[in-house]
Structure 1
Amino acid sequence: MESIFKVYFFCEDTTEEKAKVSLNDGLFSYDYKIEFEADLTGNVEIKLYRDEFDFRDKFDLVTQEAGFSDKDKQYFQGEPIVLNRSLSELMPGKQESTPNTIGLFSGVLYYSKLSAPKTEKEKYYYKDFSSRKDYRETFGGIKMYRDNFRVRPYGEPNSSNYDWLLLSNRKAKSPAAISHSTGKWRVNSDQILGSVYISRTNLTLPDQANREGIVETKEFSQLREVIIEIVKLFETDRQYVCRLLNTYYEKSHYTEIIENEILTKANKDEKNKKKKGPSSKKETFIEVSKVKTVIDSKDNKIKDLEDENRLLRALATTGIVTNTYIHEIKDSTHKLSMKIVMAKEALELDDDKLEAIEYINAANEIKNSFNSWFKVTIESVRRDKRSMKVIDLRDLLQVLVASWNDVASNKGIRVNLDIADIKFKCFPYEIESLFNNLITNSITSFENLRVGNKMININVRSSETGILINYSDSGAGLSDAFKKDPHRILEPFETDKRNELGELIGTGMGMWVIVKTVNEYNGSIDLNENINTNNGFYIKIALTGKER
């Protein structure tokens, strides 16, 4: 706005240059600044400025030992992170040729926290913000300007449109801490402020007749989605920095070393106590033994929580699969009831036994399809599959794939399994959950595939440390939003599934469940093959057998 409006404060002998009031970032103390500008071709240039961290005289030491790159060091010293994205990349599920019907737009956003625990200040090397003022009542919210004039009520404090991007809703759905290893940290609406600029040339963003906001056109929804995706890029960068700093903090404080030292001493003291008898120094033995008891109790509680989380992930997979095919399940239920009614009418009204038998046979086929659904959902959480044991992996997957082929055959989809004779120590329901999520995603990707073979290929081989899984399908592949960085789909709530209105409807949890399962087996995931392929989805998974 400084290029349009200028403010001067004159005294009797003040020159024009000295009287000019600078309207720049100096008015705000911020942690991150996000600038963005879109051109008519649909390209959006985004600049992220990191101004949150102050390593003081430890800059070289911390950045090196924490694992930051040379480019990261430049970003910490004021150089912006420059990202170029197309609109299709910022709107998952949209085609590459998505035209820019929104028009020119730009903006600047500021992330600014007002408090942080003392431990976080030490861990993340936050710069001093103790003198930072609270601007939320005055400048809070993300405001919109048309030709540099406010478009109300967007970003208006104490109004329902203060959070018109629904950032608080995103935060509530994903309340993960900034250092969480897999969860997605989200910024809250009261932590970010800024401006979005459009003009009278944005014809698809017309004002409402009463001048109270903008008409909720398709392009307005797209603009909101693009801004949220830009905010997500900032969130990802901040979480990347804090994860590395958190790992560095934990290593430098030797918590694991100290805990192992306590356990070693406790075990040694217990052995000495048995050798020396009751006349030995009981005080030392008692105190150390108490510590060991506390640690053992903690380990048992953690094990119980881990088992509970495994079960919840399996149940989540059941919900994802069921939700994906709920319309088909409802349709099958309706057909089943209709066949039974028609069989009854054939017997009671027409006394036609042959026709009734045809209806009953048709109903029986529908019932069999239900049995297949039950095998890939409810069967996966049977009690005998929730115990860790050495299993015949080929037998387990052959039964699972056969059930999926029964379910998917009416869609023209074939699941092929190539597996050697492998004995693998695991929780069977975790392995089934992993494949159920992969196959569910593949079948969904086939919905937009009108021609061609609909194939899913699974290859499983043993390795020196466990097993290697090569999974691929002949579907539509990843959308443009994930092509450059396919590992982004492993983050929670990332999805490109849209309904007929163009609204995102996927849960974005299936791949995240897979990540959690792979981490449980000290495994790894490779999605790089998707970068250079136009069609199909490819994933390589390495798993290590369970020890306990």
Structure 2
Amino acid sequence: MEETKFTIEDRELAELLGRQNFSNKESAVFELMKNCYDAGSAVCDIYINSNFIRIIDYGDGMNYEDVQNKWLHVGKSTKGYKRKGEDRVFTGSKGVGRFALARLGNKARVTSKVEGGVAVLWETNWNYSNLATTKVDFEKGTTIEILELRDKWRENDINNLVDFFKRAYKSKEMSVTVYFEGKAHIIKPIFENLKKGENYSTKIKLEYNNKRMELTVDIDSDEFKQEVVELISPISPKKYFNKFNMEEEFGSSIEDVKLYLSEIGSFSAELYFALDKVPVESFEKYMYKYNNLSHDGTGIILNRNNFSISSLEGKKDWLDIASRALKSPAAATHRTGSWRIRKNQIFGEVVIDKEENKNLKDMANRQGLEEDEYYEVFRYIILFGISKFERYRQDIIRQIDGIQNEAKKDKDEEKKKLREFLKKPSRAIGMSNEELSHLAEEIKDIQREVKEKAKEHKENEQQFKYDVRILNVLATQGLRASSISHELHNKRNILESGYKDVVNALEEFGFWEELNSEEYTRISYKNVPLTLSNLEEVNKRLIAFLDVILNKIEKEKFNSKIDSIEGALNTIVKTWIKEYDWLTINVISKNEVQNKYKISSDVLDVIFDNLILNSIQHNEMKDKLTITIEVDSSNGFLQFKYNDNGTGLNKKYIKDPKRILEVHETSRRDGHGLGMWIVNNTLHMYGGNVIEIRSDNGFHIYFNLKG
């Protein structure tokens, strides 16, 4: 059998692998610069004007055979991992980067020479190509000339190219200079010589170890003034360090996650956080150390062995930082919402390796990595690390906000002059200069507070809109369930008596005894009595479901005040015990006074229905589950202790139990992560708070509620 090979025209190759393969001119020049690096050159000089682009390197060069067998062999790359005897990792691997020439111009000339060899000249207009020997005035290296340029190059285009190179190239092994109109632009990595207090306030270092499937989060912060150290506890506003088992974090959310976590390889990230200009009022209130730090909002760069992967570097939000912030727009001060970092507040780089992270593959169009399962796991790990910073910073801001709000209450009490003035404005005439000065200062304080409140209101409005979106979805599903429940409720008699009616009919017609014989019950799916018995169980559960749904949405439940907490809890317990015979719930009431409480029964329904459901869902494999609810009343507050004897918290929450209160936080593959968030939201709405969450011999949560 004769061996055959595809034949393709040069112009088609130039079109497909050149013009269509490079999304912009900057990435095409960048690709040719990478060839200089792979050739081992210590210098790359790029000359650009309106007529040509010339790229010069002083690397290995090529001889006649190299051009024929390597340069002209499309899709062939003889490059391994590193240059022999060097730490320089080869950037190329696909054997198509040379077609960047076609993206930049209609003609190209490549002059090259190996040390001690004969120089060669290859020319093409992408219809015809020629190769010949030539004479040159250099000892070794390669000069590329691109003619009949496809793009115009102006000063602004050069600035864009230089900015792209600064973001996309960071090696010190080869210097790169771009020359345009007599001016030399030396490329210096954008993250070189960054200074804390000038360019950023916080550095976030992430280290992922694939062998241990462990992520280390190391945060070094200088965002707040020294006074904050003494004010807040037990958090340090300067340092955070923790390690996380990512297999536990993923749980069962992705199949074969252990395989992906180990095969993805180890990698690291160094990220920087900086606030934009902060209003004076907020700057003072939260005791920030710096204001209006200088950074260019580059974003997070994906870097592999000193080179960026994406041709859209700096333009593509590959981690979806912006959309995360839109989905959870809460201010850092918000008591239950999750603050998310904004796109213009974080920059830095994620560093991977060509060999270590070989399963993270390039997209053919050079716009990033293939978005497969490895990529999704990779992104999740990085975003998880960022979320640890977000939670850490929000905890600090919340504490400062609480302290400042208490101080403000005391300060409000001291505003005597303003109260006197408001009661009788004419008193200002008889005030001394010192008293007028105090009055003016109090008025300024109020003006600052109004501005701050307006900003806070705007931020809270965004969070409330998100909360309402979630609750609207839940409410809509609830209304749909309610509508169906009403329809089924009208057929309650059929659901209750259907089983008995069918059995009685079969007995009357003389079939029932025969259907119960061994002959007709041997095969389970043909076993009529068993099928009917199963349907009876489903009907019972369905009737219980209807009773619960229709009871929970009665209008009176939202209006009536409770006169007995123990009684209200026992009412909730009855509905659950009725549905789950393997469930025992004990209610213990201490020091309760018969009184009209400020809360209505629906508040307790929301809290305890979610807690009980949470216990059931996490302990479905247990034969018996016992829940104990203790309630105590003191100083206008209701103190609750809720415990179960189940499996307790998932491993990933042991170090940080209150994390389960965050929105969409779940360890269940089919979970929505809303139950505990709703509990926490409800408590805050009614002046309560989660005091402690523990996981020893079951699940334990202690909280209070204004009575």
TM-score band, normalised by the shorter chain? 0.5 to 0.7
Residue 298 of structure 2 is aligned to residue 112 of structure 1: no
Cα displacement (A) at 1:266: 12
Is 1:26 equivalent to 2:194 in the alignment?
yes
Does structure 2 conserve the Cα–Cα contact (< 8 Å) formed by 1:523 and 1:543? yes
**Counterpart residue type for residue 26 of structure 1:** L
Aligned to 1:496: 667
Aligned to 1:294: none
2:412 corresponds to 1:257: yes
Q: Which runs of 5+ in 2 are unaligned?
A: 1-167, 178-185, 425-456, 513-528
Decide which of 481, 485, 488 is 2:656's aligned counterpart.
Answer: 485
What residue is the counterpart of 1:148 in the other structure?
306
Q: Does 1:88 align with 2:247?
A: yes
Q: Give the structure 2 partner of residue 231 of structure 1.
A: 386
**2:678 is the counterpart of 1:510:** no
The equivalences for 1:94-243 within 5 A come to 98=258, 100-101=261-262, 102-130=264-292, 132-133=294-295, 135-136=296-297, 140-152=298-310, 156-158=313-315, 162-199=316-353, 200-208=355-363, 212-243=367-398
Deviation per residue, 1:155-205 (Å, 9 max, x gap): 7344xxx22222222212221112222221111223222211122222432
Does the alignment pair 1:379 with 2:551? yes
- Code of the aligned partner of 2:319: L
Q: Is the 8 A contact 1:321 1:377 kept in 2?
A: no
SS of the equivalent of 2:619 reads: helix
Name the SS for the 1:389 alignment partner.
coil
Tell me if the contact between 1:49 and 1:81 (Cα under 8 Å) persists in the aligned partners.
Answer: yes
Q: 1:485 to 1:362 in 2, by over 3 A?
A: closer
Q: CA deviation digits over 1:31-58, x for unaligned, max 9?
A: 32211112222232221121333x3xxx
**Pair 1:317–1:379, CA change in 2 (3 A):** farther
Give 5+ residue unaligned stretches, structure 1. Answer: 11-18, 270-301, 500-504
Closer, same or farther in 2 for the Cα pair 1:373/1:31, shift >3 Å?
farther
The answer to whether the aligner puts 1:419 opposite 2:588 as a matched pair is yes
Distance 1:524 1:170, change over 3 A: same
For 1:308-323, list aligned pairs within 5 A.
316=471, 319=474
Percent identity over the alignment is 25
Structure-2 change in CA distance of 1:267 and 1:462 (3 Å): farther
Q: For residues 60-71 of structure 1, what are the structure 2 equivalents within 5 Å?
A: 60=227, 63-64=229-230, 66-68=231-233, 71=236
Is the contact between residue 389 and residue 427 of structure 1 (CA under 8 Å) also seen in structure 2? Answer: yes
Amino acid at match of 1:52: E
Contact residue 7 and residue 20 of structure 1 kept, 8 A:
no
C-alpha displacement at 1:427, in angstroms?
1.5
- Of residues 559, 571, 578, the one that matches 1:406 is 578
1:245 correspondence with 2:409 = no
Pick the structure with more helix per residue: 1
1:455 to 625, 646, 651: 625
1:352-391 correspondence runs (5 A) = 369-387=541-559, 389-391=561-563
Residues 251 and 442 of structure 1: CA distance in aligned 2, closer, same or farther (over 3 Å): closer
- Residues 144, 151 of structure 1: 8 Å contact kept: yes
CA contact (8 A) 1:490 1:512 kept: yes
Which of structures 1 and 2 has the bigger CA Rg?
2
**Greater mean deviation of Cα atoms: 179-188 or 416-425:** 416-425
Distance in 1, matches of 2:247 and 2:385, equals 13
Give me the TM-score of the superposition, normalised by structure 1: 0.67
- Counterpart amino acid of 1:395? G
The DSSP-based 3-state class of the residue aligned with 1:319 is helix
- Give the CA deviation at 1:322: 6.6
Q: 1:197 to 1:438 in 2, by over 3 A?
A: same
Matched residue, 2:141: none
Q: Select the structure with the greater relative contact order (CA < 8 A; seq sep ≥ 6).
A: 1
Q: Structure 2 vs 1, CA of residues 408 and 211 (structure 1 numbering), >3 Å: closer, same or farther?
A: farther
Report the number of matched residues.
Answer: 450
TM-score by length of 2: 0.53
Range 459-468 or range 490-499, more displaced:
459-468
Partner Cα separation in structure 2 for residue 46 and residue 461 of structure 1:
39
Verify the 8 A CA contact 1:45 1:84 in the aligned structure 2. Answer: yes
Q: RMSD of the TM alignment (CA)?
A: 4.8
Decide which moves more: 140-149 or 221-230. Answer: 140-149
Q: CA deviation at 1:146?
A: 2.5
Q: CA distance change for structure 1 residues 361 and 71 in 2, over 3 Å: closer, same or farther?
A: closer
- The answer (yes or no) to whether the contact 2:362–2:368 under 8 Å persists in 1 is yes
